[in-house]
Structure 1
């Protein structure tokens, strides 16, 4: 399922998430499972981007602060090992904020507005004239994160490619200012897993849309959500030919079923007619129950040790701050600052 991470070693990897809610299986299929593999032979940092989350949640900061621990729990439950991966809190590394401020002097507003990812996110949120300056500039903040850790690989979806491109533009500008290579270029490590649709089949999986299966969901919740999944509205009888494309159940099987040949056979039978939706849903439920049971169990165990989780975050943030300080100093010198 996650072959794009195999064989990679010796890289400096930066990745992360905004703490606006717990993670769901779409995150697992997209990058989280890959991060678990990447941590073995690479130097990986996962940044809990609480400052970035405030760019469109400043009116409800409790939503951000209350989810920091939830996000850390999801990471650890999914297999992120703090002995191999540094988990850090963005707001605990003030050097990142200063780098963001310095980089903003290098990026015209017109460049930010041309960014297709930013344009689509602004439209989706309906900001209009009330667009927060922080939201418009968050790609600059991401560039500060990437360059501060000298990351050469950034695991993310295809929509993040323009943000990595901007980071590289800034790095090259800093290098020209310094007259030497201060900051390396980064590459996007794109997951081959398609973005999982929500159980309603109408949009991507999202907690806010109420169409997601969370990593922490109980067995009854998983069962209920699987049996509510959209399949094919034209598949009225078992004997009717069914469509695989757009069928959420098949999307789940493609992402998580460990027997791809069996899934291919189910697709052939479904297209031909004679295979009922309930057969597919029972298989998908079994797959997801097996996938999430150990994650849920680890999460419950870790949740009873909140103090230890906070210690992991504190230690990771302190280690991350030590990592970025040399780059921070070099960038300051490039700007003529002591």
Structure 2
């Protein structure tokens, strides 16, 4: 049995905006209090579409990590690291590429979708075709069983599950597995061994699913059991081989409802963003200049909030009383558009205030961020090395 673990990453794009906060970072902040979490900068992934212009990736990385910390991601609770600083990601990616069928990569939904969206880029590269497999390696190397994603990313998690399944099928049957498993049973001690065998028979002969959980709990009590023997007994229990890679599960997250200042989804490509730590004067000006219902040419004209981009922001930031005030005031011309915008301005500035405060120490002393990442790189690499040791051993490439 492996411990619960959450893994998530972001490509380094520099300063993050409120769409990132509401779509990803708020969820990260909550998850870090519920599970052991690993959050990483996917700088190698950035190269799949930015290979011809990698300048700026490093600066964007540091800027993005400051935003993570500003949003409330706590390095005392979560491990923050950079993908390229844990080279085991690349090693696992290479080894998996030897056994993953080409057709699996070509059928990933986002492969052709991204090629069409980025048609100005030459994406007929090996790296772009293989990025879903690198993504799988990112997840599998930490044996992460929970990956927070939106519904559009679920196929990537299923792909990772198939990769883990194929790897375990090909390499999980170590030579002499049954003999080694029986020897491992003896190491449980006579009382636990009898109980384990009883639970194993109940599951395999009677299909009693509850027996699996009870057996895993029994194994958890055996503190002197080695990692390898524990894995053998988990596989022996369920009639499979030794489980090397854990099949991840999707932790579904709600899609961000954060609109940009033009009413479209907030996105850098649309030029309609408000960054997490944007200057208060700039935020105020952007909201004040937002387009409103075209029917409200004069202050005395009545409007329809449903046709106004500002109303979308009220749905994110305003409580029921304020929303009712907007609906009534707009439809009766009782309030002007600037009146309507002010509660949104105030709410965004309130949201940003603690972010600016949390970010300031890291802006004053950039070495603090470097230290956090160096520590995270070390922790992540320790976990990655454990997995790679088992992967090499399973494939017969440990050269001992």
Confirm or deny a common fold (TM above 0.5). Answer: yes
**Match for residue 233 of structure 1 among 266, 274, 294:** 294
1:47 match: 40
User: Which whole-Å CA distance do the structure 2 matches of 1:189 and 1:13 have between them?
Assistant: 9
Q: Which residues in structure 2 correspond to 1:8-47 (within 5 Å)?
A: 11-47=4-40
Gaps of 5+ in 2: 173-240
**Match for residue 254 of structure 1 among 302, 312, 315:** 315
Gaps of 5+ in 1: 1-9
User: Which whole-Å CA distance do the structure 2 matches of 1:205 and 1:92 have between them?
Assistant: 31
2:65 match: 72
1:307 match: 367
User: Residue 211 of structure 1: SS of its match in structure 2?
Assistant: coil
| Deviating 4+ runs (over 6 angstroms) | none
Measured against aligned partners, the alpha-carbon deviations of 1:145-174 in whole angstroms (never above 9, x if no partner) come to 111111121123222212111111111112
User: Which whole-Å CA distance do the structure 2 matches of 1:233 and 1:11 have between them?
Assistant: 52
Judge which range, 248-257 or 154-163, deviates more.
248-257
- Give how far 1:309 is off: 1.0
User: Which whole-Å CA distance do the structure 1 matches of 2:384 and 2:301 have between them?
Assistant: 61
**Match for residue 260 of structure 2 among 198, 201, 204:** 198
**Match for residue 222 of structure 1 among 283, 287, 293:** 283
2:145 match: 152
2:91 match: 98
Measured against aligned partners, the alpha-carbon deviations of 1:211-250 in whole angstroms (never above 9, x if no partner) come to 11001200011112212334433444554341426x4323
1:333 match: 393
1:86 match: 79
Q: Which has the larger radius of gyration?
A: 2
User: Residue 126 of structure 1: SS of its match in structure 2?
Assistant: coil
1:4 match: none
- Give how far 1:306 is off: 0.7
Measured against aligned partners, the alpha-carbon deviations of 1:270-325 in whole angstroms (never above 9, x if no partner) come to 67443543233111111001001221232233111111210110110010010122
**Match for residue 181 of structure 1 among 236, 243, 250:** 243
User: Which whole-Å CA distance do the structure 2 matches of 1:76 and 1:18 have between them?
Assistant: 16
User: Which whole-Å CA distance do the structure 2 matches of 1:280 and 1:112 have between them?
Assistant: 49
- Give how far 1:114 is off: 2.3
**Match for residue 328 of structure 2 among 262, 269, 273:** 269
The answer to whether the Cα contact below 8 Å between 1:174 and 1:334 also exists between their aligned partners in 2 is no
Once superposed, what is the RMSD of the aligned Cα atoms? 2.2
- Give how far 1:263 is off: 4.6
User: Residue 16 of structure 1: SS of its match in structure 2?
Assistant: strand
TM-score normalised over the length of structure 2: 0.75
1:322 match: 382
- Check 1:85–1:243 CA distance in 2 against 1; reply closer, same or farther (3 A cut): same
2:304 match: 242
How many residues end up aligned between the 2 structures?
A: 325
Measured against aligned partners, the alpha-carbon deviations of 1:167-200 in whole angstroms (never above 9, x if no partner) come to 1111111221213322222222232243423222
User: Which whole-Å CA distance do the structure 1 matches of 2:150 and 2:292 have between them?
Assistant: 25
